[in-house]
Amino acid sequence: MKLQNFEQRDQAIRQQYLTAKRCNPDKFASKLKLSWSIWMFGIEPLEQSLIRLKKAGLSYVELKGDPSQDPETVTKVIERHGFTVSGVCGLFPLDRDLASSDVQIQDNAVKYVKQEIQFTKAVEGSYFIVVPSAVGRTRAVDDREFTRSAQALRRCGDDFQKAGIKAVVEPIRSAEVSLVHTVDEALQYIEAVDHPGIAHINADTYHMLNEESHVGDAILRCGSRLVNLHVADSNRDAPGKGMMNVDVVIMAAYLVGMNQGNRFITFEPLGPYADPYVLSTQPCKTDVMDQLVRDSVDYFREREEIVRNL
């Protein structure tokens, strides 16, 4: 029986993975670094979040871009529990909209990014996630949004360079934002920003399942620009709970070198909210999150081991 189109692409990536692994086995020796984006745990104290992640065997964490956090206090908690900060997830609600036509709102977004760059440096993270327009606003204000946003982010470029922090642009599904929904659009946006300090991507498998023709191909198109990959299944649940081919995601991640250097696979199974930021201000449902972390990490590690043994 002839394979369906997506199955053909799955098979092509599998073959590419096997060939690359056979030709350059040293590049596949290290495992992927697994992290968790903890802003989804809401107002739970950081220490409790880290204890949950430690029980699942994680040692990397992606922090919430919360301006009220004291970096010294955060660092002490991080060190006490033996964690390393992978990066910081920027939160861009309506009052921090880089694409806004309101100068005050745009300036507030720029100020926020610059502040979080310094926070990321202080807690020794390696990247900060940038969303080009407000999450929760899906309709464009006008046809100048793309240019306005790129120009606003360019104002932060020198700060990223001086701090040694990677700016990672995240493409998000069109049901949540008005700008930059695909990897190709993220690459166009980076080109429009036109600053050497802003050159990398934070991809997300859930958004790619919504906006791309094939998740594996989208990861490959990111190439070396991909610094962090958020992982959630087709229903935005734990990997393995939906229809995503986790093996292909893992193979593609290895093919672009995600197992080398400060590059991370970060779990972010948020659930299908149009505005997922609601999670960041709610009490944590500890039993639900405990199970979610276990399910996500255990299944991904199981599939990674299977892929590595091919």
Structural domains in the chain, sorted by start: 31-308 (3.20.20.150)
Report d(CA 254, CA 251) in Å as an integer.
5
Report d(CA 236, CA 239) in Å as an integer.
8
| Window from 178-192, 196-210, 281-295 with minimum mean pLDDT | 281-295
Report d(CA 42, CA 39) in Å as an integer.
6
Report d(CA 249, CA 229) in Å as an integer.
10
Measured CA distances, 140 to 97, 100, 137, 187, 188 (Å)? 12, 10, 8, 20, 18
Residues of the chain with pLDDT > 70, as a percent, come to 99
Please measure the distance between the N-terminal and C-terminal CA atoms of the chain and give it in whole angstroms: 24
Report d(CA 231, CA 204) in Å as an integer.
6
Q: Is the pLDDT of residue 203 over 90?
A: yes
| Angle (CA) 149 66 278, round 5° | 85
pLDDT digits (tens, 9 = 90+) for 215-226: 999 999 999 999
Average pLDDT, the chain: 97
Q: Is the pLDDT of residue 291 over 70?
A: yes
pLDDT digits (tens, 9 = 90+) for 12-41: 999 999 999 999 999 999 999 999 999 999
Alpha carbon 303 to its chain centroid, in Å, reads: 20
Q: What is the mean predicted confidence (pLDDT) over 173-193?
A: 98
Predicted local distance difference test score (pLDDT) of residue 98:
99
Q: What's 235's DSSP letter?
A: T
Report d(CA 189, CA 195) in Å as an integer.
11
Predicted local distance difference test score (pLDDT) of residue 185:
99
Rounded to 5 degrees, φ, ψ at 224 are: -70, -10
What length is written for the chain?
310
Predicted local distance difference test score (pLDDT) of residue 34:
99
Report d(CA 67, CA 272) in Å as an integer.
26
pLDDT digits (tens, 9 = 90+) for 242-286: 999 999 999 999 999 999 999 999 999 987 666 677 777 888 889
Predicted local distance difference test score (pLDDT) of residue 271:
74
Burial class of residue 19 (count of CB atoms within 10 Å of its CB; 0-12, 13-18, 19+): exposed
Q: What is the mean predicted confidence (pLDDT) over 134-149?
A: 96
Q: What is the mean predicted confidence (pLDDT) over 113-139?
A: 98
